[in-house]
Structure 1
Amino acid sequence: MIDDQARQEAAEMLASAENTRQPIDPLVARYPGIDVVDAYEIQLLGIRRRVGRGARIVGHKVGLSSKVMQDMMNVDEPDYGHLFDDMMLTESVPIAVRAYCAPRVEVEVGFILGADLPGSGCVEDDVIRATTAIVPSIELIDSRIANWQIKIEDTIADNASSAGVVLGRNRLDPSSVDLTDVGVEVHVADATDPTPRFLAKGRSDAVLGNPATSVAWLANKVSAFGVSLRAGDLVLPGSLTRALEVHPGDTFTASFGGGLGMVTATFI
């Protein structure tokens, strides 16, 4: 572990990197003793800073929810971060790439909670009952660590690489669809070629077998810190595909099966 002074220093460096768009070297290199506990404490320092400056928490995101990503990071469970009101983007307003360090997008089945979730002991059925709607989502992720050279401690400290989210217009009752079998295809068009080209496809069972399982995991995880997932929260349970690099002029379209519909994100 590292001491409180080092944690504070790390949180300040990450905040500065986000503000200036000048990424920093990996925390695991600067602080060889850093562990996951340190990383969550650093994340919380950053969260408190943002809340103190007027930002409002509107939900949470789960990262590393696929077995492939967990193996890559040498971990056996996901991680999580916080979503703020100033991260909520729209389909109608282009997103400036220059406002981020090295943005990427992920496509997710978002959960909008209509009731509080239980903490310890939360299961998938609790998630379905508490969810007012699922929504097609594109998450914008960004790393304040240079060149995405991250270990698990780096991304946790960096608020799980959270940066933004775009929600599609459709809202679907989660009980009306098989959440283990929602497919998605992602296409991109750019400034030089407006014809959409295929980028990736995936299925919802890539997210811990069922994205509702990921939401239940999160409810259990944060309850250990005295935090609850509450009515009105947006929860992003993890990506159905690999993360996709973003360039100015790109327009991404994610088309989901199961009646969930489409969501687009345009970058300038």
Structure 2
Amino acid sequence: MTGTSKTALDGALDTALDTAAGRLRAAYATGAPCAPVRDLIGTGDDRLAAAYQVQERLTREWLAQGRRPVGHKIGLTSPAVQRQLGVDTPDFGLLLADMAVPDGAEIPAGALLQPRAEAEVALVLDRDLTRERHTIADLVRATAFALPAIEVVDSRIRDWDITITDTVADNASAGRYVLGTRPVRLRDVDLRTAGMVLERRGDQVSTGIGAACLGHPLNAALWLADTLVRLGRPLREGDTVLTGALGPVVTVAPGDVLEARIAGLGDVRVAFAAEENT
């Protein structure tokens, strides 16, 4: 391939990725879900790298707007979901401070497009993780405490019609997240065997266990730590890491109230405002 031809191909890819970012940006701005972006990203071996480039374009815009990064979320930690999307690896997205919802608070109607919820283990770090390859011991030493969490995922892609490239480009379908308020040291809880129950107004809607998250929530966090170092954006002291779902995701509707309980970590709750009558 000549230099001119490669330059033309690179330019065409940049244009396509800019278009994909623009499609997602418009969905955020208008509150109307958009068509999938996989047609713009492609299906080759480099599709994941291209999808993360779209995510990075959106991230740069958010940071330029003054939004504050506070950590990362990990997705696709369930082998069943990985098989569904035809991948063998998790994905990640950025957490921003304005995505955080206080425990027990209500998410306003219309704040999200197509919300779904899942219960997770959150880790909060008190050391940087900058080694090329970390061990579980490194991760345990760097973790200040764990908290129960509800992640409210939200796809900007219409009808959740997603492939791995769509969700990665769309910041791993990040929406909002809620953390419990009673920190627990890792030495005081067995995250692998911790059972989870998610209820909607007292009715059980999802159950799971820590081992459902890549065999152990720390395995997911370890994958993220190593991945971000390779990308030159390591996890830092103070970061929050949402390690991935412990059970099936739940569709939510206006007026719902969800409460998750994770053995050894306690509970966390979030409400969804009813739609206003017009």
TM-score by length of 1: 0.94
Can you give the 5+ residue segments of structure 1 that lack an aligned partner in the other structure? 190-195
User: What's 2:167 paired with?
Assistant: 155
C-alpha distance in structure 1 between counterparts of 2:230 and 2:41, whole Å: 26
Per-residue CA deviation, residues 6-43 of structure 1 (Å, 9 max, x unaligned), is: 11111121111012111111112355457111100000
Q: Distance in 2 between matches of 1:182 and 1:123?
A: 22
1:45 has 2:77 as partner: no
| Aligned counterpart for 1:266 among listed residues 259, 267, 271 | 271
- Tell me which residue corresponds to 1:8: 18
Give 1:216's match in structure 2, choosing from 222, 225, 230: 222
Report the count of equivalent residues.
261
CA distance in 1, matches of 2:211, 2:218: 10
Task: Verify the 8 A CA contact 2:23 2:37 in the aligned structure 1.
Answer: no
Q: Distance in 1 between matches of 2:189 and 2:104?
A: 27
What's the CA shift for 1:175?
1.9
1:29 corresponds in structure 2 to 39
Instruction: Extract unaligned runs of 5+ from structure 2.
Output: 1-9, 274-278
Match of 1:87 in 2: 99
Do the aligned residues in 2 keep the contact of 1:184 with 1:201 (CA within 8 Å)? yes
Correspondence for 1:166? 178
TM-score w.r.t. length of structure 2: 0.91
**Rg larger in 1 or in 2?**
2
Is 1:62 matched up with 2:58? no
1:244 aligned residue (247, 250, 259): 250
Write out the 4+ residue segments of structure 1 that deviate beyond 3 Å after TM superposition: 29-34
User: 2:41–2:51: 8 Å Cα contact kept in structure 1?
Assistant: no
Q: Match of 2:152?
A: 140
* 2:229 is equivalent to residue 232 of structure 1: no
Cα distance in 2 for partners of 1:132, 1:249 equals: 35
2:209 pairs with 1:197: no
- Matched residues, percent identical? 37
8 Å Cα contact 2:55-2:169 kept in structure 1: yes
RMSD: 1.4
